[in-house]
A and B are shown apart, each in its own frame.
Chain A
């Protein structure tokens, strides 16, 4: 067993167990802590895959930002001493069976005869911060040498160089609009004393 396989086994087991903890914990604060460990596990998976920048962004934005938002939401809406809203056993049964069926379907698709084609990974690391930043700034990919996979045999589709300036701008304006809207929605209202 090589180091990569062993590391992936440890990280994947931790991530999956934490995700199960999110589902199974009745207490919403404990679910938030399990979600924290799940997000850190996913970030470690990105690092194992060689995508350092995405892993760092996941840690900073998700663990540092989104999870703090969630914890603040828990704090502002907790009713009484950490009250939990439990689902009925029938809901657990239906939800569990459907989730298991969904997992079986996805696993069969990932491992079965229609699995994505096994492609030998290209040499060298994934594009780092520099090529990603250039792509976001509107420069087309510098090395679009690879062919698109998954096409019928005998056909070759070289991938076209693309840039991502427009999605970057759309996402940034979207983030601004969304944050203004969220601040407006969640503002403190003065109740009319009647």
Chain B
């Protein structure tokens, strides 16, 4: 059976990362920005697991850090949604371009 190798997974992960970054750039809805962050975290996680598979030195580490990233992403989503809800309660919008109250 032909082994797939590391580069295809790295390519897929790079594509997910680029999608996440462009999502951060072009979305004006704050929840869309949050989705971009989730895409970026998933790209990093895919790299962790791929290196765990194809590098014998990281067989446990890759999976351990992937699990930690999953948990931290859940926490980050909860806090981000709480902030977005608070912003929506105060401003009646989720447009990130209108979140400029701290402008000096």
Contacts and interface: CB of A to CB of B under 8 A. Distances in A.
Do these two chains really belong together in a complex? yes
Interface of A: 2-5, 8, 12, 15-16, 19-20, 22-23, 28, 31-32, 35, 38-39, 42, 45-46, 49-51, 53-54, 57-58, 61-62, 65-66, 69-70, 72-74, 76-77, 79, 84-87, 91-92, 94-96, 98-100, 102-103, 106-107, 110-111, 115-116, 118-119, 121-122, 126-127, 131-132, 135-136, 141, 146-149, 159, 162, 164, 167, 171, 174-175, 178-179, 181-183, 185-186, 189
A20 B39 CA distance: 11
A118 B93 CA distance: 50
Contacts, number: 254
A87 B27 contact: yes
B102 interface: no
Per DSSP, chain B at the interface is: helix
Interface in B49-91: 49-57, 59-64, 66-68, 70-79, 81-86, 88-89
A86 B27 CA distance: 7
A14 to B, nearest CB: 11
Contact of A69 (B42, B63, B77): B77
A122 B95 CA distance: 49
Given A96-B22, A159-B57, A178-B75, A62 B70 contact: yes
B85 A91 contact: no
Contacts of B71: 61, 171, 175
Given A141-B60, A186-B86, A86 B2 contact: no
A119 B25 contact: no
Q: Max chain B CB contacts within 10 Å: which of A45, A94, A132?
A: A45
B12 A46 contact: no
Interface residues of B, number: 78
Given A38-B42, A61-B74, A175-B71, 15 more contacts: A45-B49, A62-B38, A66-B38, A69-B74, A70-B35, A77-B84, A77-B88, A79-B93, A92-B26, A98-B21, A106-B10, A127-B63, A132-B63, A185-B86, A186-B86
| Nearest 6 interchain pairs by C-beta | A95-B25, A106-B14, A99-B22, A146-B56, A110-B10, A103-B18
Given A58-B70, A121-B53, A73 B14 contact: no
Contacts of A84: 29
A22 B35 contact: yes
28 contacts: A15-B12, A16-B16, A19-B20, A22-B23, A32-B31, A51-B63, A57-B67, A57-B70, A62-B74, A66-B74, A69-B78, A85-B32, A91-B26, A95-B22, A99-B19, A103-B14, A106-B10, A110-B7, A121-B54, A126-B53, A127-B59, A135-B60, A147-B56, A147-B57, A149-B56, A164-B64, A175-B74, A182-B79
B53 A49 contact: yes
